[in-house]
Amino acid sequence: MSFISKLFKKKEETEAIAKGSVEEFVTLVRVYYQAVMAVQLGITNLNILNDMALFKRMLKIPTQNNKLGVAEKSRSRKILMQEYGLNERFFKEIDASVKKNCKNANDIKSYFIMYQGFNTDLFSLLDNLMQWKFRFSILFKKMLYAQTQKTVHEIVTRSEWKDINVQKVAWRIRKYKETLGYSEEWITDFVYNVVLMAREDAKNQHKNKKKSE
């Protein structure tokens, strides 16, 4: 199993998440999703939004104006913008996606199943096409972003592939993209940050291994 296929497994609530790690980035994005859902759907039961509930408790975020999700949405967005360089467009697309696909609280589970499927297919195909594990040590950030942008564009626009299995996955990704309502720019920004953090995780693991020897 490749490292990318492991990125979106849910962490146990008691497990520490390293700052600036893949897990932190992915969790913060999920917190933002759940905060948007809480605000848009008027959710009052914090227990159905596990990531946001943990985020709220850890940072001791008070509920703003008796409306769940408002303060959590603002706080998670601020962290993602400051620490990961994401812009307002990234968050507006999430807001629009949730509004389009979640009409009530019962839609939350199906939305995240679809979101999980999108991520699994996307990173599995990227791992196949770009062979990240062999390129981490030689790619600079600008080059990494450009290569990510190029590959994402190919996935969502190319109609035929030599490998039929690759073609099927690419077509599924395009369907997810259409349903979720995300632009190529959004997908590129998301993928770039995940891969960049994975590279940093690999470096840190290597350093820690050296220290322990």
Mean pLDDT of the chain: 85
**Interval 108-125: pLDDT, tens:** 999 999 999 999 999 999
Q: What band does 11 get if pLDDT is binned at 50, 70 and 90?
A: very low
Domain that holds residue 60: 4-212
Q: Is 179 exposed, middle or buried (0-12, 13-18, 19+ CB in 10 A)?
A: middle
**Interval 23-82: pLDDT, tens:** 889 999 999 999 999 999 999 999 999 999 999 999 999 999 999 999 999 999 999 999
| Other residues' Cβ atoms within 10 Å of the Cβ of residue 141 | 10
Residue 173 φ/ψ, nearest 5 degrees? -60, -40
Residue closest to 22 by CA, chosen among 4, 35, 34, 36: 4
CB 98 within 8 A of CB 36: yes
Token pair, residue 16, equals: 């520490």
Check residues 207 and 191 and name the one with the higher pLDDT. Answer: 191
Check residues 164 and 1 and name the one with the higher pLDDT. Answer: 164
Domain count across the chain = 1
Model pTM? 0.85
Residue 16's pLDDT is 45
